[in-house]
Structure 1
Amino acid sequence: MDRFVSTFVNKIDSKGRVSIPAPFRAVLERDGYAGGIYCYPSLDAPALDAGGERLAKKIDGLLADLPDYSDERDELSVALYGDVQVLSIDGDGRIVLPEGLRAHAGLTSHVAFVGLGEKFQMWEPGQFEERRNRARAKVRETRKLFGRKPGADDGGDEGARE
């Protein structure tokens, strides 16, 4: 499997180390992570975004689509690359989470590792449960849209699944 999937909760030790879940390490190894992961504060959540080379290439692609020297490109570069930290993975599969990253995500004793396909996030477990509940509620509210036929008007339930 070449995607980060599932959710795992691991303990942070007294030195700020936490084990990356084995399935995530396997994806990173296939991704060519070279012994470390890219990690930065999420732009829109109290969480950390992380991943390997695929994540870095995704960021490169986002930036490549913006005009050189544009304000948008500069702002996105600062927001993403300016805050990236490359975290080394030790022989036991652990990373040390720097204090600034832990503070952003409110991480104290445990980390929820959440697979998001091409990247994963690290959350304080209670915060993630709230996030997951909001996401599930939103999906329940909008699930009828998933089955709508292209071009169907908004006035009826044609094409919607119950």
Structure 2
Amino acid sequence: MDRFVSTYTMRLDAKGRVSIPAPYRAVLGREGADTLYCHPSLAEPALDAGGTRLLEEIDTLITRFPPYSEAREELSAALYGTSETLRVDPEGRVVLSETLKDHAAITDTVSFVGLGHKFRIWEPERLRAHLAEAKDKVRLLRRSLGSNAENGGSKG
């Protein structure tokens, strides 16, 4: 599989290293990534992480705006300017910087959640709250879609 899927919770070791889940390392390996790119999420108290597909997503987003435009410069600074290139050691571990850990309120345990082309790294309790909220929103969306289907797809 070429997607980051599932959720894993891991502890940081005494040196502050955390193991990237083996299935995620396999996806990174198939992408040809020998490093992990990581930046503070713009929308959540979490970290966005991945390999070359994450960088491609950032490139695609940024190139939607004209060169030298304010929006392009701000996105570049917010995404590339805060990104870190983390070296993956032979055992599949990385060290999260204090800046990254502070953004996500990470202390001794992290949860990895797959998002397809990338994954997020969360403080486990924050992830649980986020997933509960997301499930509630999906349930409401499902009900809304169900009633639209019953009405022939119209909103009236």
Encode CA deviations 1:33-82: one digit per residue, 9 max, x unaligned.
1x211100000111000000011011111111111111110110010000
Task: Provide the C-alpha distance between the structure 2 equivalents of 1:123 and 1:5, rounded to a whole number of angstroms.
Answer: 15
Alignment match, 2:154: 153
Deviation by residue 1:69-109 (Cα, 9 ceiling, x = unmatched) = 11110110010000000000000000001111001100001
Equivalent residue number for residue 76 of structure 1: 75
Count of paired positions: 154
Gaps of 5+ in 2: none
2-structure distance, mates of 1:152, 1:91: 53
Distance in 2 (alpha carbons) for counterparts of 1:27 and 1:145: 35
Distance 1:7 1:89 in 2: 20
Deviation at 1:153, TM superposition (A): 2.2
Structure 1 CA distance for aligned equivalents of residues 80 and 145 of structure 2: 35
Q: Could you tell me how far apart the structure 2 residues matched to 1:144 and 1:118 are?
A: 28
* Partner in structure 2 of residue 87 of structure 1: 86
Q: How many percent of aligned residue pairs carry the same amino acid?
A: 53
- Structure 1 counterpart of 2:155, one-letter code: D
- Give RMSD over aligned pairs: 1.4
How far, CA to CA, are the matches of 1:140 and 1:48 in structure 2?
Answer: 26
- 1:2-151 maps to which residues of 2 (within 5 A)? 2-33=2-33, 35-147=34-146, 148=148
CA apart distance, 1:14: 1.9
Aligned-partner Cα distance in 1 for 2:71–2:144: 32
TM-score by length of 1: 0.91
TM-score by length of 2: 0.94
SS at match of 1:138: helix
Q: For residue 90 of structure 1, give the secondary structure of its aligned residue in structure 2.
A: coil
Q: For residue 82 of structure 1, give the secondary structure of its aligned residue in structure 2.
A: coil
